[in-house]
Structure 1
Amino acid sequence: MSSARTAAVTLTLFRVVLGLLFAFHGAASLFGVFGGNRGSGQAVEFAAWPGWWAALIQLAGGILVIAGLATRPAALLCSGSMAYAYFVVHQTQGLLPLNNGGEAAALFCWSFLIIAVLGPGAFSLDGLLRRRAPEQRGSLVTAS
């Protein structure tokens, strides 16, 4: 396998696993599944700030990133939500992630930023739409 193909496959796997983990966090908080919000077995109260909105971003953003659809904006929103979580929730309890419980927020933040910068890769709906767009442009018929 060529290095370009290896990079494309690796980026795809990274994107899908990252999106799955993030979507699971969102589903746990929104619906009380997979142990619920923070392992409580409960869902976050509807529209409660910031937990419910963060969970919604996690679920929707995770699904978009998995599919590779609107990947860059979705990943940027996910990264920003985790930066907010780290600086507003975790850093108030201590400077370092190991001391404030913010390791997951920091890792998600930087991982989604990588996806936002690098893009979804070839194996994504964004990539498919990009490849199909020139074909569709050439087949458009215009009336004069």
Structure 2
Amino acid sequence: MPSARFEQPVLSLFRIVTGLLFACHGAATLFDVLGGPHGEVPSAGQWPSWWAAVIQLTGGALVLIGIGTRPAALVCSGSMAYAYFVHHQGDGLFPMENGGESAALFCWAFLLIAALGPGQWSLAALRNQPAHRREEVSSHPNSH
């Protein structure tokens, strides 16, 4: 199947872009960069906005580089589910009504990444690659 050869690269690109965009939200909120936060810059430890921004920055960065991808993506997904149901759902049933489109999309995107993993272009895959190659060489009959 020709499309199967594109699955891992596309998954990797999806993870990279999603992680980058999420990390940018966190950086904007915490450091008043990239156009700044949507609202006031929260004080350190302020619930929930400061903690959400920390999850966005650190979780997005981990997903972006592909280290601890599944647990980081699961935390990011959960934080966006919380944001949607606590901060958006009360303003209307549908995301178009309540302004929760990005929270809903990030929630489902991170859930997909948590389920499928980081793809082949990740630091975790790169870190595991030399050990994998050593196993292939040592199990090859002509390597002795």
2:109 aligns to what SS in structure 1? helix
Query: How much does 1:133 deviate?
Result: 4.2
Q: Provide the residue aligned with 2:31 in structure 1.
A: 31
TM-score, L = length of structure 2? 0.86
Q: Provide the residue aligned with 1:13 in structure 2.
A: 13
User: Does residue 65 of the first structure (1) align with residue 66 of the second (2)?
Assistant: no
Query: How much does 1:33 deviate?
Result: 0.8
For 2:34 and 2:120, locate their aligned partners in 1 and report how far apart those are by CA, in whole Å: 31
Q: Kindly tell me the number of residue pairs found equivalent between the two proteins.
A: 135
TM-score, L = length of structure 1? 0.86
Identity of aligned residues (%): 60
For 1:107 and 1:36, locate their aligned partners in 2 and report how far apart those are by CA, in whole Å: 21
Q: Provide the residue aligned with 1:77 in structure 2.
A: 75
For 2:108 and 2:58, locate their aligned partners in 1 and report how far apart those are by CA, in whole Å: 18
Amino acid at match of 1:52: W
Post-superposition CA distance 1:101-126 (Å, at most 9, x none):
00000000000000000000111112
Amino acid at match of 2:63: V
Over the residues paired in the alignment, what is the CA RMSD in angstroms? 1.9
Which residues of 2 match residues 110-121 of structure 1 at below 5 A? 110-121=108-119
1:57 aligns to what SS in structure 2? helix
